[in-house]
Structure 1
């Protein structure tokens, strides 16, 4: 949990967003492979609220553009999310990229593992969406949930992560239906195996990867396409697959 002084510094830092002439995009997991690529792609055109836990990596992000606003916080502390994000003066897009992806077969996964994965991968984006809903309604904004090839399939050795991404897909569909009258656009962007540290699993399960992995910048370009879709449409699902399947 952030201290009172840290929260004050974050709040003062974000006050500048009230006067920016750019659209404001919130990116969670901004210090990860895909999250950083999203910030890099959008930094020249948008004001970015970049959430992460790693202070040195967040400091590096600040060098990517003039209107990048790093926010160091632990998303799993859902009780503090409203304190940190609820006071944002405006939000035009929310990109839920933060996730964890440990590999477990169901009979190796404990209740604690299930709880940790489902909490960060499903509960946190749901709660953050709920907190930022007033700002997104005001801007008729866009919400992006970063899904996965595991959003519709599974394997015996990756069932916990796959279950969380199945649930995230259901969340996205439910949010879209719930906010249709507000004209908020809701999308799932679901890439296959991406070349990030997330897939460097240290376990004893067999691993088969495609010959060529998807690059994080490719996913970022897809997300830009979603949030910049013309006003007369919404892109609800994008499945980003490698050129050759594993």
Structure 2
């Protein structure tokens, strides 16, 4: 990666699949990448395909593992929080364990990793991009748990943005509609519907929105961006 030493460094969590992987592929042309994921083999497979990539292996739900991984980062110009999980179920059926599991990864891990990286992000006047969801804007029956995590993530983004303005750190919240990923297949199964990826956004469309947030001129911030399927 020596030839890429002058390029900005972006950490993408959940970069071994779905939206995160599409973001990594999109940014690989003009950024150095830290490929985040908890499965070392999957992370290494992505790194092998992108010459500017290095691994960032950690289970983000594990506080100590996250701290160790963040401590190895020498420089970061942006972080894209794409790791997350679906949580479906009726309110009357969800246990405390269900709530804790989803909130731990979708909210607490995001806030903790960001905190650990803030000194470097402030130094670089960097950008924090949070992959949220349409569920961060409205909720439906059976989706309260996932929506609650995304509403919380939106609140966190709004607070972080105001707190970090003085440090020159930009914070962007990206809200895609339904995206053709394995998570979407899981959701369709829960809803009892056939999965037809042609009805949904491509991960590459969301990656283009992320690129806009990261590469916007310094005098501008993409604070919140809602991305929905357009005409074919």
TM-score by length of 1: 0.87
- 8 Å Cα contact 1:102-1:201 kept in structure 2: no
Give the aligned CA root-mean-square deviation in angstroms.
Answer: 2.0
**Does the C-alpha gap of structure 1 residues 100 and 204 become closer, same or farther in structure 2, counting only changes over 3 Å?**
closer
Equivalent in 96, 108, 113 of residue 98 of structure 2: 113
Which deviates further from its counterpart, 226-235 or 61-70? 61-70
Equivalent in 201, 215, 218 of residue 231 of structure 1: 218
Equivalent in 15, 26, 31 of residue 46 of structure 1: 31
CA distance in 1, matches of 2:68, 2:45: 24
CA distance in 2, matches of 1:95, 1:38: 8
Which deviates further from its counterpart, 225-234 or 78-87? 78-87
**Which residue does the alignment assign to 1:6?**
none
TM-score by length of 2: 0.92
CA distance in 2, matches of 1:21, 1:195: 34
- 8 Å Cα contact 1:76-1:119 kept in structure 2: yes
Query: Size of the alignment, in residue pairs?
Result: 228
**Aligned ranges 1:1-246 → 2 under 5 Å:** 20-201=5-186, 205-207=191-193, 212-243=199-230
**Offset at residue 205 of structure 1 (A):** 3.8
- 8 Å Cα contact 2:88-2:190 kept in structure 1: no
- 8 Å Cα contact 1:214-1:241 kept in structure 2: yes
CA distance in 2, matches of 1:74, 1:204: 25
**Offset at residue 89 of structure 1 (A):** 1.5
